[in-house]
Copies of this chain bind each other. A is one copy, B any other.
Amino acid sequence: MNLASLNTPAAIVDLDAMTRNIQRMQARMNALGVKFRPHVKTTKCNQVVQAQLDAGAQGITVSTLKEAEQFFAAGIGDIVYAVAMAPNKLEQAMTLRRRGCDLKIVTDSVSSARAIVAFGNAHAESFEVWIEVDVDGHRSGIAPDDDLLLDVGRVLHEGGMKLGGVLAHAGSSYDYNTAADLERIAEQERAGCVHAAQRLRAAGLPCDTVSIGSTPTALAARHLEGVTEVRAGVYVFFDLVMHNVGVCALDDIALSVLTTVIGHQENKGWAIVDAGWMAMSRDRGTQRQQQDFGYGLVCTEDGVPVDGYVMSAANQEHGIVSCIGEPDTAIAARFPVGTRLRILPNHACATGAQHPEYHALSRDGAVSTWPRFYGW
């Protein structure tokens, strides 16, 4: 199988770029002296995760219990479910643990901690729980200086659960685009999470693991003193948002969507392609960044960016490809009907999720099909 034999639209993974991305991150983590635990929500694909583990990653991070179940079935036991635990998911988590999965769960509230303790004690299950720490006001978690941190820690520890550590994610790192800002937010993530761990320990509570991470901060951190492990996900493919943040070059982007030109509106300078938002996702993550790529950057079938051409609009199965600025009224000659293009995505996690499989493209042009799963 090769690119020419694929139906369109199709999700293409450039294996060379993916391998470089994996090696780059793992080499940094090795140099910084921490364990690396990739977030598999980006790909939900065994072949990609196996490549991450083969390069030195230890354990995985998941965003759903379905991911935990699928990757445990594939032989991975060390898993952290990095979304605050809902009480109604405790039975599913317990079932995984009793089958031998070393699943860690997360909370950031007394209410949820009490539910974990009550369920755990009722079923004689000592869950390992990490407390989520909020280092940047981005989403969930407890601020490092908030006494709620100690309250939650005590509920878990005194309730007989294993208080395993603290976990933070500096999601606001996506909002920056200079090395200085990224270094600053990386240090804020590190220092905040380490401070939370120190407060727990000073209160006589156990806290072995200090887990932080996002792709930009993992790539920007100068040192990781006090941190035991880093999590990151999108680095494996990168995307246009990460390009705008400044942590990858265009040719590091390993995911693209292969598409076919199906028509034109010549006077408007539009080529219509058979990849719409169903194939790209509705993610417009570059809209508020310094360079807006619409629904994606146009490349030739070989993967070379066509300067100035983006998918400027999308319907469900139609994409509109056009030139930024003046309309290219010769676009039908440039991209005739039947032309195949590849579109680099704004957000690899969102675009990948629209596809039942990746088509992994080797340097020699061979293509392998890698299934990915979805749902909950």
Contact = CB atoms under 8 A, between A and B. Distances in A.
A33 interface: no
A171 interface: yes
A80 to B, nearest CB: 14
A47 interface: no
B375 A356 contact: yes
Interface string A12-35: 000000000000000000000000
Interface in A83-121: 83-89, 92, 107-109, 111-112, 115
A338 interface: yes
Given A139-B315, A277-B350, A115 B337 contact: yes
Contacts of A171: 315
Given A83-B317, A337-B115, A338-B115, A374 B356 contact: yes
A274 interface: yes
A338 B86 contact: yes
A88 B337 CA distance: 10
Interface in A1-53: 7-10, 41
Contact of A316 (B349, B354, B356): B349
Contacts of A350: 277, 282, 316
Contacts of A282: 281-284, 350
A185 to B, nearest CB: 17
A336 interface: yes
B337 A111 contact: yes
Contacts of A281: 281-282
B140 A376 contact: no
Interface size class of A (residues with CB under 8 A): 35 or more
A24 to B, nearest CB: 23
B86 A272 contact: no
Interface string A132-165: 1010010110000000000000000000000000
A272 B260 CA distance: 40
B86 A8 contact: yes
Interface string A257-279: 00011111100100010100111
Contact of A108 (B108, B260, B263, B357): B263
Given A263-B112, A272-B140, A316-B63, A337 B87 contact: yes
A353 interface: yes
A231 interface: no
Contacts of A260: 86-89
Contacts of A274: 83, 86
Nearest to A113: B337
Contact of A63 (B283, B317, B375): B317
Contacts of A111: 332, 336-338
A195 interface: no
Given A83-B274, A262-B86, A263-B140, A317 B356 contact: no
Most buried by B among A277, A282, A350: A282
25 contacts: A7-B89, A9-B376, A41-B316, A63-B316, A63-B317, A83-B317, A86-B262, A86-B338, A87-B260, A87-B338, A89-B260, A107-B263, A109-B264, A109-B337, A111-B337, A111-B338, A134-B265, A139-B272, A140-B265, A140-B318, A281-B281, A282-B284, A282-B350, A353-B354, A357-B375
Given A8-B88, A86-B261, A111-B332, 14 more contacts: A7-B88, A8-B86, A63-B317, A83-B274, A86-B338, A88-B260, A89-B260, A109-B264, A111-B338, A137-B268, A139-B320, A278-B353, A316-B349, A356-B374
